[in-house]
Amino acid sequence: MLQTGDVKKLDAPSSRLQSYIRSPKKQQQLYKRTLIVVVLSQIFGGAGLAAGITVGALIAQDMLGTDSVTGIPTALFTLGSAGAALLVGRLSQRFGRRSGLAGGFLTGGIGAIGVVISALTNSIGLLFASLLIYGAGTATNLQARYAGTDLANSTQRAKAISMAMVSTTFGAVASPNLVDVMGEFAISIGVPALAGPFILAAVAYILAGLVLFIFLRPDPLVVANAILEVQNTTDNTPSELSSHSLSTNKKGIFAGSAVMVLTQFVMIAIMTMTPIHMGHHGHGLNEVGLVISFHVAAMYLPSLVTGFLVDKIGRTTMAIASGITLLASGLLAAMGPADSMGVLITALVLLGLGWNFGLISGTAIIVDATSSSTRAKTQGSVDVLVALSGALGGGVSGMVVAHSSYAALSIIGAILSLVLIPAIIWATHNK
């Protein structure tokens, strides 16, 4: 049953909401329309996301003049995304996906504006504060993948997740390749060149929030909760079965969380230091943008195929594939020649692909393990752990490279990726 305060709209369902409760056909129509709205918002959200990945570390390096703190921007906006994930999840559970996701994207846009102002004023304090707020966009970009699953059946969930993610590709791949263009635009209006991508991020995040706020009606989570409310009033399932289901859910939540936390840590750590590593070996901003574009494309573009595989051959198999792919990425990044664009692109493509396998399989496991009455809050809490692991990876990465090397960081990532395999086998074996 729904807890007090969860999605208040259920206290007195409107006639429009009742029509969805009674009609499976209308539910599927809303499921499809929700996917379209999420896809459109994610195109803008992806453009906003890529700005921090591409130039965040470079802005810190330029302002502070040292490599040891270049992991801090990624750590900050990832840490900010942790707090935002919790808030977006709880807002979504109480008021619906529309309010939670729109609020998260608009907040991320405000943070991007703050980064631009900090570059204008050369204020480190404002930069760090703005990056924390900017992280709300990152959290929302990830949580939007859940919106399409609210009305999906068990054979549609990974597909729904993958459609939300693959749409992110369009904006996320284009954005790094606009580094020079946005830099020139920034200079033309009196803003430092490296802040240019954050101008694009501000516009993109605000547009993503407006799309969701205007078009995500009726809210899919509100409808899903209404359906659950009706089902629960006529559910005569014995309490023993409910107890068993809760136990299984806890194990599923642990398994899904472990997959996403480990893949996020490894991906963020290696990705954060790649632009710095490239700069040390004579690569320019265009080449950095190209490598990051390939990386981001590998993070999101294979999603439709990944979603199909997760639904067809299983969550566990694809989670193990994630660990193996990340292992290969770390070894190649560590051992390949630093001046080879081909090696760098391949390593970062494998890094993105391994993350993609892990995020979609882990997300599907979490959705399978929850009901709509608690799903958004649980998803928000899990995404907090994912964001914190990314923040830790981003923060530690700069210190590791400063005191050792990029190769050492990549080897550490490769070794950590192996932990994923026994963790997922243990969790699924003990169900």
Residue 264 banded pLDDT, cuts 50, 70, 90: very high
Instruction: Report pLDDT for 430.
Output: 55
Give pLDDT, residue 19: 79
Confidence of residue 429 (pLDDT cuts 50, 70, 90): low
CATH code of residue 423:
1.20.1250.20
Where in the sequence is the domain holding 292, given as residue range(s)? 12-227+240-429
What's the pLDDT tens digit per position in 269-307? 999 889 888 888 878 778 888 898 899 889 888 988 999
Question: What pLDDT shows up at residue 134?
Answer: 93
Contact 212, 41 (CB under 8 A): yes
Structurally, the chain folds into a number of domains equal to 1
Q: What is the pLDDT of residue 13?
A: 53
Q: Are 77 and 110 in contact (CB under 8 A)?
A: no
Query: What DSSP string runs through 278-328?
Result: HHHTT--HHHHHHHHHHHHHHHHTTHHHHHHHHHHH-HHHHHHHHHHHHHH
Given this model, what pLDDT does residue 145 score? 81
Q: Sorting pLDDT into bands at 50, 70 and 90, what band is 234? A: low
Average per-residue pLDDT for the chain: 84
234 in any annotated domain: no
Mean pLDDT of 232-247: 48
Q: Is residue 233 part of a domain?
A: no
Mean pLDDT is highest, among 17-31, 72-86, 129-143, 342-356, for 342-356
The answer to whether residue 1 sits within a structural domain is: no
> What pLDDT score does 249 carry?
72
The burial of 122, by beta-carbon neighbours within 10 Å (0-12 exposed, 13-18 middle, 19 or more buried), is given as exposed
pLDDT level of residue 236 (50, 70, 90 thresholds): low
Q: Examine residue 6 and state whether it is found in any structural domain, yes or no.
A: no
Whole-angstrom Cα distance, residue 158 to residue 358? Answer: 12
350 assigned to some structural domain? yes
Neighbours of 235 (CB within 10 A): 10
Q: Is 4 within the bounds of a domain?
A: no
In a domain, 7, yes or no: no
Residues 6 or more apart whose CB falls under 8 angstroms from that of 181 comprise: 196
Q: Residue 255 domain-assigned?
A: yes
Find the range with the poorest average confidence among 185-189, 354-358, 393-397: 393-397
Range picked from 17-21, 56-60, 96-100, 378-382 for highest mean pLDDT? 96-100
